[in-house]
Amino acid sequence: MTIQRMDNVLIVVEDLDAVVAFFVELGMEPEGRMPVEGQWVDRVIGIDGSRQEVAMLRTPDGHGRIELAKFHAPEAVDTGARDAPVNTLGIRRVMFAVDDIDDTVTRLRAHGGELVGEVVRYEDVYRLCYLRGPEGIVVGLAEQLA
C-alpha cells in the first residue's frame, strides 16, 4: 500500500498571530483556527493534559497545508534551535513555489522575514532563496524561470 498524500506539516510556535500573518502574507489561505484538547489528542501526541490552539493554512492550489500550534499546557519546549544553520539535523525548511521571488521577499520582510543567504539563480530553471521568518521558521522560495 502507498500513501495517499502528504496532509500537513506541524510547526509549534509561541506567537500564533505573528506566524499566521507571515504565512498569509506568503499566500497561504486560512482554513480554520480552534482549541484542541482532550483525551484523544493526549493519546495521539503522548502528552497528558495538553491544551493547544491550532491554526490550519492551505496553499492556494489546495494540496499543501501547514498546521500551526501554540501549546498552552504544557508550555512548548524551547531547544534553542531557532537560529540553527540549515545543516542542523531535523526539519530545516518548507519550500514554496512563488510567482515573483523579489516581491515575496519584500512582503515577508515586513513580517520579520530575513534572507538566510541570498537570492540565487540555478541555471535557467529557478531563482531560489531561504528566508527565516518569525520564531526562526525557515521557508524556501523558488521562482521558476520561463
Question: For residue 90, what pLDDT is reported?
Answer: 83
Dist CA 32 CA 55 (whole Å): 6
Q: How big is the CA angle at 41 (ends 37 and 46), to the nearest 5 degrees?
A: 120
How far is CA 37 from its chain centroid?
22
Residue (of 107, 108, 92, 104) closest to 128 by Cα position: 104
Question: For residue 92, what pLDDT is reported?
Answer: 87
Report the predicted TM-score, pTM, of the whole model to 2 decimal places. 0.93
C-alpha cell at 32: 480554520
Q: What is the mean pLDDT of each run of 10 residues along the chain (146 residues)?
A: 87 97 98 96 95 98 96 91 84 94 97 96 96 95 95
